Amino acid sequence: MASDARIVAVLGPTNTGKTTYAIERMLAHRTGVIGLPLRLLAREVYDRIVALRGPSVVALVTGEERIVPPRTQYWVCTVEAMPEGMGADFVAVDEIQLCADPERGHVFTDRLLRMRGLHETLFMGSDTMRGTIAALVPKVQFMRRERMSELIYSGQKKISRMRPRSAIVGFSVENVYPIAELIRRQKGGAAVVMGALSPRTRNAQVEMYQNGEVDFLVATDAIGMGLNLDVDHVAFSSLTKFDGRRMRQLAPNELAQIAGRAGRGFRSGTFGTTGDAPALDDGMARAIMDHQFTPQNKINWRNHALQFGSIDRLIETLEAKPDDDRLVRAREADDLRALKALGQVDEVFARCSDGPSVRLLWDVCRIPDFRGISHAEHADLLERIFCDLHQSGRIPDDWLARQIKRIDRTDGDIDALSKRLAFIRTWTYVAQRKGWTQDESHWRGATRVVEDRLSDALHERLTQRFVDRRTSVLLRRLGQKEAMVAEVNETGEVTVEGEYVGKLDGFRFRADKGAGGAEEKTIKSAALQALAPQFHLRADRFYNAPDTEIDFTEQGGLMWGAAAVGKLVAGSDPLKPQVEVFVDDVAGPDVAQKVQRRLQHFIDRKIAALFEPLMGLSKDETLTGLARGFAFQLVENFGLLPRAQVADDVKALDQDARGALRKHGIRFGQFTIFMPLLLKPAPTRLRLVLWSLSRELDEFPESPPPGLVTIPVEADAPQGADTMSGYRNAGARAIRIDMLERLADMVRAEDSRGGFEAKADMLSITGMTLEQFAGLMQGLGYKAEKGEREKVKPVDTSTPKDGTHKVMDETADTEVPEKTDLDTPTDDAPDKPVMDVAAEEPAGGIIEKPAPATPDDTPGAVSDMPDDGIAPLAEEPAETPLAEDGIPDVPAEETPQGTAPDAEVAGPETEVYYIFTWARSGRGGNNPRRNAGGEKPRGRSKPRKGGPRGDKGEKGGKAQNFSARPPRKEKQIDPDNPFAAALMGLKDNK
């Protein structure tokens, strides 16, 4: 070294431009070497110098990367990889305060004591090293550089309140990942920087932060070593770290090194704590702001004058003690630990019989334990590498290829990729060692390709997990307070600035379900701001939409297509409900009013169309007196009134009033006063909704499926829901009102006191089996007595001489009346208890109908007359002798086809039948002794013992039919008719 060589210690806090000054000084010389604490920082400095001087004269040497052009002038290295004995004009070592680091301090101390440039040497670092450098480096000059901006303590803050351009520092992967995940949910995402990342991954993450894709950085203390980032605030999530041996508190100067990353150039920065880290005490905070720290009077040292005579001698020289009080022997490093472990292996010990072998072993032991699995596994790997190198001078290509191929996979999560990246770093380091492989350039390239591929995959996984580009973009645009562009496609999907944010359901925005709580709030805020113009366009389209695009649900909701746009609420009049719209507040009152008017028009027109008969009834001014009051009740009950509920009013109505009401389609049924047109599915569906609103029900009953005559009775249905559904409860099932009236007309012809059986037509209109019909009749107030009897085989249809057809009842051998058109409404029911029809004597206003004729006076009898159209019965055969077993001995040829020989022994076939009789008693409409108007019947019939009367009544064997309908008025003959006289004569002679 020349006698005029300059040694300068450039000391001061962070953000003083020390590294930039060193680069400028190096480029002022012909050659130079600069050592940096991290390969990440080395790569950054390398890129800066390449940009200034070009790649042909700049080399990059780290443990895992080696770029050395033929005409290299400037070497950028990690401190451990700095070449010795090159005789460079300039030498610089950055972050010299790391001499006190327990793990790597001895390397920095060695460079402090022994690395010199021919013309200039620089040591950059903290001012705490001033005394130690002055004591150990003769003729050193000191240069003090002040911070270009202020560093201010801002206290403890929650992560959710962290402002943009902040860096949150954790000291382990276990701290970094959860913090990054939390920031993604609340702030849109964060870049992740750790020392374990490859330079490629780290640069991609930093670039994402620097160009503004994310506003937050989550990192380990690696960012404290000179990384130049645009950070305004640094927050510590912990004040302790694991230093490789134990958890310990961070010293103020260590915190200051990291906090100093806040603020760049002349822009001030702040620092503080967050998460579980407590606030800093005043003394520590003030020391960091004023850059006043305890001097580092002790630094780590390890002997550089190694002797390779044997393994034991090498270990002895490595553990030699320093001869200066400021130097402290470094604790056992990983390389020394590996050397001791391999020295115990017999094969390794036997191979290390000379100096070159021991030196080779030491070079192998210095391979870093990037994998971090265990010391034993690391020692096993080093043993294999040493034995191959010692035996053949090279690492076998096939074995090395297998190790690399096993790692070359980009599937898996972040942890899996991080482990593979750590493994490939081992082989990258091996490939960089000169002479260890057959083809150095090939294996350096192969390991670099795998590392780059894994780095890219890791960057992608980090971004997928910790960055929500959508939220990040929206937050940034919100902060810029610029109008954002929103688009809504045909399905309602909303994109803002090209990012999918959710769906527009009618006039309400639904944020993306995949978003978390804070993220959803951000998305919704940005989306609603951008959607304001879309709401007005959508409201105009809705206002002009036809009624066919709008509908109501059975729970009172109002739908526009598949989107809910409002709901019905009760109004002052049951037939005039009001509308409550579903419109986001940001849409504005104009949009809400337009939607409300359109929905109100829709429901008003729907009620007018489906309840047209009812609306006409309410507007009929010709109705007066009791008829008008009755019409009012019917309108209030949506066109359906249980007859028992208005029995007195019905009784009070005269024939003229009834006729006026019938003109509106009102039918006075035995069970219900109703309008048949309102029993259709569409009016029924709307009626249930309006009725539920008027009753203020929380859950509306649903309308029955169309076309069903009977439906199951719901036990928890509100009272009156069956009537509003168009049904009447009858036990376990409910029967449709109009079908019940037709059934009542059939039962009216039966003797309900003496008992009767169900006819085929009764079962047909209800669609029930006999057992189900019995349950229905019991629900209507009848008693059903079950019995069994011998089944009478059906007789073929006979054709009488008059040509008419008679179908014989299978059970009673009587005629079955011809089936009528069930869809034709029958006349009004008599004012008599429903289906409470006993055989009575005709009285005033009662019309008797003849009972159906039977073939014979005796039930079940069959005439043997040929002219009846029925074949005569065959003569009885002679008695058949019994066989020994008691079974009639019938020859096979005499046994009827399809009949078993023992059929007669098995007994006759039986059938189940029910006898129905009126079972209710007491006053009111259900009293069998009173009619619907409360009048006591004039006649009385006693039930005959022994079962039902069949088809014969007490009078001449014929059933009686009663009706309260008045006689029809004969049509008056027009006196001006030329045939009037003849017509009057015919009438008189009738």
The 10s digit of each residue's pLDDT in 794-840 is 655 444 444 433 433 333 333 333 333 333 334 444 444 444 433 33
Rounded-to-integer distance, Cα 96 and Cα 112, Å: 8
Query: What is the gyration radius of the CA atoms in the chain, in angstroms?
Result: 52
C-beta separation of 602 from 610 below 8 A? no
DSSP state of 215: S
Q: Where are the extended beta strands (E) located within 405-507?
A: 486-488, 493-496, 499-505
Structure token pair of residue 25:
């000084």
CA proximity to 851, closest of 964, 745, 955: 955
pLDDT bucket at 159, cuts 50 / 70 / 90: confident
Q: What pLDDT is recorded for position 535?
A: 87
Judge residue 607's burial from the number of C-beta atoms within 10 Å of its C-beta, 0-12 exposed, 13-18 middle, 19 or more buried.
buried
Contacts 24+ apart (CB under 8 A), 654-659: 655/966, 657/625, 657/626, 657/627, 657/630, 658/828
Q: What pLDDT is recorded for position 980?
A: 53
Q: Degrees (nearest 5) of the Cα angle 330, 336, 339?
A: 165
Residue type, 224: G
Structure token pair of residue 782:
């009848």
More confident residue, 304 or 816: 304
DSSP track, 465-494: HHB-HHHHHHHHHHHHT-PPPEEE-TT-EE
Q: What pLDDT is recorded for position 919?
A: 81
pLDDT at 938 over 70: no
pLDDT (tens digit per residue) in 671-693: 999 999 999 999 999 999 999 99
Q: Which residues contact 636 (CB under 8 A, 6 or more apart)?
A: 574
pLDDT at 578 over 70: yes
Rounded-to-integer distance, Cα 218 and Cα 199, Å: 16
Q: Which helix (H) or strand (E) holds 722?
A: helix 721-724
DSSP track, 868-926: GT-PPPPPPPPPPPB-TTSSB---GGGSPTT--TTHHHH---EEEEEEEEE---SSSTT
Rounded-to-integer distance, Cα 204 and Cα 192, Å: 10
Q: What pLDDT is recorded for position 434?
A: 87
More confident residue, 925 or 720: 720
What b/e sequence results for 125-151 when a residue is b if at least 16 CB atoms lie within 10 Å of its CB, and e otherwise?
Answer: bbbbbbebbeebbeebeeeebebbeeb
Q: What pLDDT is recorded for position 937?
A: 40
Rounded-to-integer distance, Cα 559 and Cα 726, Å: 25
pLDDT (tens digit per residue) in 596-649: 999 999 999 999 999 999 999 989 888 888 889 999 999 999 999 999 888 888
478-482, 856-860, 965-969: range with lowest mean pLDDT: 856-860
pLDDT (tens digit per residue) in 187-221: 878 999 887 788 788 888 988 888 888 889 999 88
pLDDT (tens digit per residue) in 312-332: 999 999 999 999 999 999 888
Express as a percent the part of the chain with pLDDT over 70. Answer: 77
pLDDT (tens digit per residue) in 737-766: 999 999 999 998 898 888 999 998 999 988
pLDDT at 904 over 70: no
Locus of tokens 């680069």? 23
pLDDT at 311 over 90: yes
Structure token pair of residue 280:
């800093």
C-beta separation of 750 from 758 below 8 A? no
C-beta separation of 269 from 105 below 8 A? no
pLDDT (tens digit per residue) in 411-430: 988 889 989 998 998 999 99
Rounded-to-integer distance, Cα 587 and Cα 592, Å: 7
Residue type, 647: A
CA proximity to 169, closest of 226, 125, 213, 222: 222
Q: 59 - beta bridge partners?
A: 75
Q: Where are the extended beta strands (E) located within 164-252?
A: 166-169, 191-193, 216-219, 233-236, 240-242, 247-249
For residue 350, give Cα distances in angstroms to 311, 345, 353, 375, 896.
11, 9, 6, 22, 112
Q: Which residues contact 810 (CB under 8 A, 6 or more apart)?
A: 792, 794
Locus of tokens 């492989």? 437
C-beta separation of 960 from 953 below 8 A? yes
Q: Which helix (H) or strand (E) holds 183?
A: helix 173-187
Q: Degrees (nearest 5) of the Cα angle 70, 71, 74?
A: 115
Rounded-to-integer distance, Cα 93 and Cα 99, Å: 11
Q: How many CA atoms lie within 13 A of 506 on its CB side?
A: 23
3 state SS of 549: helix
Q: What pLDDT is recorded for position 856?
A: 38
How many other C-beta atoms are found inside a 10 Å radius of the C-beta of residue 966?
10
